[in-house]
Amino acid sequence: MMSPREELVFAPLGGVGEIGMNLSIYGLGDERRKTWIAVDCGVSFASEEHLPGVDLILPDIRYLVEERQNLAGIVLTHAHEDHFGALIDLWPKLKVPIYATPFTAALLQAKREGEPGAPEIPLRIVPLGGRLTLGPFDIELVSVAHSIPESNALIIRTRLGTLLHTGDWKIDPAPVIGPPTDEAKLRALGEEGVLALIGDSTNAIREGRSPSETEVADTLAKLIREAPARVAVTTFASHVARIRAAALAARAAGREVVVVGRAMERVVQVARETGYLDGIQDFRGIDAYQSLPRNRILALCTGSQGEPRAALARIAQAEHPSVTLDKGDRVIFSSRTIPGNEKEVSRVINGLVRQGIEVVTDRNDLVHVSGHPRRGEIEDMYGWVRPRIVIPVHGEALHLAEHAGIARKLGIGEVIVCENGDVIRLAPGPAGIIDEVPAARLYKDGRLIIEADARTVSDRRRLSFAGFVSVALAVTRKGELATDPEIELIGIPKNTAEGEELADVAYDAAVGTFESLPRPRRSDPDSVAEAVRGAVRSAIAQHWGKKPACYVHVLSV
């Protein structure tokens, strides 16, 4: 029985207007009570410049916490960090079942084991192409090609219509690992009728079609075969197809494979357990590295994004305990530099080039392809599925707008460009944004999770730019200074251009301001603190050109 006001809604809680932190929810029910499912629960990576000291950005799930009793489960599309990286931190607030395919589940489990204190998360394994029922949602997995094994689109059938949540996908007839995108199932879905498609916009600005993983494998094979000395290949740790291609190329060239970097070791182990490296030779331990001849070795390294603590950056700085490279060796970046990481990657490349090491990137050769659909592939998908409504997700504003443009050009009548937190009614009636729910960000700061609007990080950014002055004043009951003020400067230059100490400048400003206050005000600690704080900051700014943070402690004695 359908209640008269029943509706089907979609709300992105992350991943729209940004690349990263994907978390989508779908709800079915009336205005007051809906049953929800969530798809993915990912992180974004923070840049050190904008968010000093913050390791990760997580979606703020306060809305889901409120609705926890009505949340039937979380379905993971694949094991990329931007889709499952927030689970270990956020699952304890929700405690709902998690559904994933075998590789995704195994990688989550391995990650959990690597993090002391991580919660025991109940994982329900769904086979590739499998089907499950969560409340009023009938969910079917569709295999899609991407850049990690077992990426899935989700067909979500409800009594108000059928949805396709594409997840991350591309069309690759020869993806090296796993089945290609299941065109037959998607065409059949189109015949069945699709109310709405919620889809990947990452490469919607790129014309044409992505090259195949197999073409990349061929290029790698040639570069590895022709290299005169050692070869190191760096790629995303989870890119098993690339690891497989590099290993096959090494075998053909008579080279042994050594894996360098914990994240990649973990993925290799999970890929062996789940069969994705079947038929691939055993890799050698890192201790074999120094004993093998230079033209008999292939090192597979983490650190393609220039991460300073990852293997490649340490090798480039000649700081790795067991792996070294020398003049004449070749390093292949089988990866793309994610926007924001350019400086770090350049630092690593320059470090290598300075040592006479040859560096190959996707500028020189086809050593990387993206796992996301370009315009031609998006058009194919719409041809197969023919949705009534399209909602672009997984992209920044420009990607979403370009994706919307493709959909409109193909004659799709209802295209909704939305923001995180928008609630979109998909049925009944015309699609549209009908409500808003909280969808902010959280920061992982050391071991703690803090709210993004907390002052912690903005204070830290300010301190990193302009330092800190601490002033301590002891004031007697009569309104006199009991002793000389204590001044402490942190992160501020010692002397002015004229050679005067800035500590003295602060001291003079503090004492002068205190003495200029009328006596009754001097016995009010708050009033003294405010006046002295303003004066000290201005006095330092006059010489330095920057206003430091300042804390004035007034002690009544």
- List residues near Zn ion by CB under 5 A: 80, 82, 168
Question: Cα(74)–Cα(87) distance, rounded to whole angstroms?
Answer: 10
Residue 78: CB minimum distance to Zn ion, A? 6
Question: Cα(146)–Cα(181) distance, rounded to whole angstroms?
Answer: 9
Indicate the residue among 237 and 554 with the shorter CB distance to Zn ion: 237
Indicate the residue among 82 and 329 with the shorter CB distance to Zn ion: 82
Strand partners, 444: 56, 449
Residue 457: CB minimum distance to Zn ion, A? 25
The 422-427 sheet, strands edge to edge: 123-125, 98-100, 71-75, 34-39, 23-29, 7-14, 422-427, 432-436
Residue 270: CB minimum distance to Zn ion, A? 16
Residue 455: CB minimum distance to Zn ion, A? 31
Indicate the residue among 80 and 374 with the shorter CB distance to Zn ion: 80
Q: Is the CB of residue 72 less than 8 Å from the CB of residue 137? A: yes
Indicate the residue among 23 and 359 with the shorter CB distance to Zn ion: 23
**How many CB atoms neighbour CB 15 within 10 A?**
25
Residue 101: CB minimum distance to Zn ion, A? 14
Question: Cα(55)–Cα(371) distance, rounded to whole angstroms?
Answer: 25
The 44-45 sheet, strands edge to edge: 44-45, 54-59, 441-445, 448-451
Residue 396: CB minimum distance to Zn ion, A? 13
CB burial of 58-77 (b: ≥16 within 10 Å; e: otherwise) equals: bbbbbbbeebeeebbbbbbb
Residue 43: CB minimum distance to Zn ion, A? 11
Residue 83: CB minimum distance to Zn ion, A? 5
Indicate the residue among 169 and 382 with the shorter CB distance to Zn ion: 169
Residue 151: CB minimum distance to Zn ion, A? 6
Q: Is the CB of residue 194 less than 8 Å from the CB of residue 154? A: no
Strand partners, 415: 390
Indicate the residue among 276 and 514 with the shorter CB distance to Zn ion: 276
**How many CB atoms neighbour CB 292 within 10 A?**
15
Question: Cα(319)–Cα(298) distance, rounded to whole angstroms?
Answer: 19
Strand partners, 481: 475
Question: Cα(472)–Cα(457) distance, rounded to whole angstroms?
Answer: 25
Cis, peptide link before residue 228, omega less than 30° from 0: no
Indicate the residue among 67 and 82 with the shorter CB distance to Zn ion: 82
Indicate the residue among 266 and 372 with the shorter CB distance to Zn ion: 372
Residue 222: CB minimum distance to Zn ion, A? 27
User: For strand 297-301 and strand 256-260, is the pairing parallel, antiparallel, or unpaired?
Assistant: parallel
Indicate the residue among 23 and 96 with the shorter CB distance to Zn ion: 23
Q: What would the two tokens of residue 522 be?
A: 């001097």
Give me the torsion for CA of 297, 300, 305, 308, rounded to 10°. Answer: -80
Question: Cα(244)–Cα(256) distance, rounded to whole angstroms?
Answer: 13
Indicate the residue among 7 and 168 with the shorter CB distance to Zn ion: 168
Q: Smallest Cα–Cα separation from 52: which of 336, 499, 446?
A: 446
User: For strand 330-333 and strand 256-260, is the pairing parallel, antiparallel, or unpaired?
Assistant: unpaired
Residue 82: CB minimum distance to Zn ion, A? 4
Our measurement of the distance from residue 352's CA atom to the centroid of its chain's CA atoms, rounded to an integer in Å, reads 27
Residue 373: CB minimum distance to Zn ion, A? 12
CB burial of 166-199 (b: ≥16 within 10 Å; e: otherwise) equals: bbbbbbbeebbbbeebbeebbeebbeeebbbbbb
Residue 122: CB minimum distance to Zn ion, A? 24
Indicate the residue among 168 and 445 with the shorter CB distance to Zn ion: 168
Indicate the residue among 126 and 231 with the shorter CB distance to Zn ion: 126
Indicate the residue among 18 and 344 with the shorter CB distance to Zn ion: 18
User: For strand 161-165 and strand 196-200, is the pairing parallel, antiparallel, or unpaired?
Assistant: parallel
Indicate the residue among 136 and 199 with the shorter CB distance to Zn ion: 199
Residue 169: CB minimum distance to Zn ion, A? 9
CA of 496: how far to CAs of 500, 508, 548, 550, in Å? 5, 14, 14, 18
Question: Cα(333)–Cα(325) distance, rounded to whole angstroms?
Answer: 15
Question: Cα(179)–Cα(181) distance, rounded to whole angstroms?
Answer: 7
Question: Cα(491)–Cα(494) distance, rounded to whole angstroms?
Answer: 9
Question: Cα(154)–Cα(46) distance, rounded to whole angstroms?
Answer: 29
Any idea what DSSP says for residue 168? Answer: S
- Determine the residue type at 19: I
